[in-house]
Structure 1
């Protein structure tokens, strides 16, 4: 089993930050990654946002867990059960500095998306159901317990 921490990064205009990857025909996804030994989800998110986007820890307002998801994925040549927890993270676009990122992980670009853009795109976006979570956050409705997303 692979434990993963992911951030639903939202700015003051309620846009969500997604990363584009070319694998599997191309897709957009939330930042995040596997927990390192002895690390909790909050610490992993802070580390991942620095590694992938060059965001300093002091620029991140980490919030509640919004969702969880589990699915089987190929990691290397092995299939593993990946269990993801998604947390709200508020960040200003001016604090995203990809040039300072230390582990780009095949990220091709980053982009801020409004809810209506998420709903209208023909691109693949992970996790499924992200637009509904962004709408809930914009309306101040934090899911309790966290939403279970489809694999």
Structure 2
């Protein structure tokens, strides 16, 4: 029995004051939109990794990191190899002016970034990861931060 390599990833559910969600566009795997974030570096915890990833991908500085709101475990390809990924999602609130992609140092094949309303997330025919993101955000906006992270499929 072979064991897939473990990849730990920290991701941000980024909301602005209008309750829009920031997603990044990637062309691999037939194209998809996803929350910002990426793999932990050696010795790094999830919270530190998500702040670093936001700085690297979007040029943010001084982000106030919110609570962990969700987790997902999934086997899937990353960079052409199959991995077992554990993701932790943190709530982050910023204003669009807080983003400075010109300061980004690692764009990791990001093709675009876009702010999405919940209605747009619910009705799009495009692939958005994680699955269930619109419901997760709606529940956080209605009920507040969950006591324990929601398990996403």
Residue in structure 1 matching 2:60, options 43, 46, 55: 55
Residue in structure 2 matching 1:115, options 114, 118, 125: 118
Distance 1:136 1:63 in 2: 15
Show the counterpart of 1:44.
49
Q: Structure 2: 5+ residue runs without aligned partners?
A: 1-5
Please provide the CA RMSD for this pair: 1.1
Q: Structure 1: 5+ residue runs without aligned partners?
A: none
Question: Does 1:96 find its partner at 2:91?
Answer: no
Deviation at 1:140, TM superposition (A): 4.2
* Aligned length, in residue pairs: 148
Please state whether the residue corresponding to 2:56 is helix, strand or coil. helix
Show the counterpart of 1:66.
69
Distance 1:31 1:42 in 2: 13
TM-score scaled by structure 1?
0.94
Please state whether the residue corresponding to 1:148 is helix, strand or coil. strand
Show the counterpart of 1:14.
19
TM-score scaled by structure 2?
0.93
In structure 2, the CA distance between the partners of 1:140 and 1:94, relative to structure 1 (3 Å rule), is farther
